[in-house]
Structure 1
Amino acid sequence: MSCTACGVKVEGPYQESALNRLNPDDQQFLLDYLLSGFSIKALEENTNMGYAAIRSRLDKLISNTKTVIRSEDQKKAILEKLRSGDITVAEAKRKLEKL
């Protein structure tokens, strides 16, 4: 992980949150929703979005979050198969690149 503003890099094993792996638009929408008290009505008042647009955006955010989590679960399963010797490094690499 690194900061593009100051150039600081953090290396080593650490667990990154699924929310960190969401795209910046999804992260911002989630933050806006959180700051509105998880109230669609309050979010409507604080943005130019109507109920239908907010509901659609929430559904997209939920779907994107599930995709991120599934992808991480699939990566873990592939790496576990590699560790146990069930697949080769080349097979693991190919499978990881498909995700």
Structure 2
Amino acid sequence: MKFPIQCPACNNELTVVKLRCDSCETEVAGKFNFPLLMRLEPEEQEFIIEFLLNSGSLKEMASKMGKSYPTVRNKLDDLIHKVKSLQTT
């Protein structure tokens, strides 16, 4: 299940307003933005994890994904562009 980060009614980005510890029932309230990586799609998050686990080797990732190196490189470039645009928002 995808963690919701956008409002289902108006499509604006949601914010976290309360965190709760189930163990001691401590609650922290405020307005918190989602971390940048959580604002990515699940498949984009998985790509980043695979990139790290493969020590940044796009050649290794291409081999494991059964895709060409240029295809994987383009995916990384698209992801870099998206991350840069999210940093400015």
Tell me how far apart the structure 1 counterparts of residues 65 and 40 of structure 2 sit (CA, whole Å): 21
Q: Which gives a bigger RCO, structure 1 or 2 (Cα 8 Å, sep 6+)?
A: 1
1:66 corresponds to which residue? Answer: 84
Of Structure 1 and Structure 2, which has the larger fraction of its residues in strand? 2
Structure 1 unaligned regions, length at least 5? 72-99
Is the counterpart of residue 48 in structure 1 residue 66 in structure 2? Answer: yes
Aligned residues: 65
**Identity across matched positions, percent:** 28
Rg larger for: 1
Q: Per-residue deviation at 1:15?
A: 5.4
2:75 corresponds to which residue? Answer: 57
Regions of 4+ moved over 6 Å: none
Name the TM-score, length of structure 1 as normaliser. 0.56
Q: Per-residue deviation at 1:10?
A: 7.3
Q: Per-residue deviation at 1:16?
A: 3.2
Picking from 40, 56, 73, the partner of 1:38 is: 56
Name the TM-score, length of structure 2 as normaliser. 0.61
Of Structure 1 and Structure 2, which has the larger fraction of its residues in helix? 1
Tell me how far apart the structure 1 counterparts of residues 51 and 17 of structure 2 sit (CA, whole Å): 30
Q: Per-residue deviation at 1:65?
A: 0.5
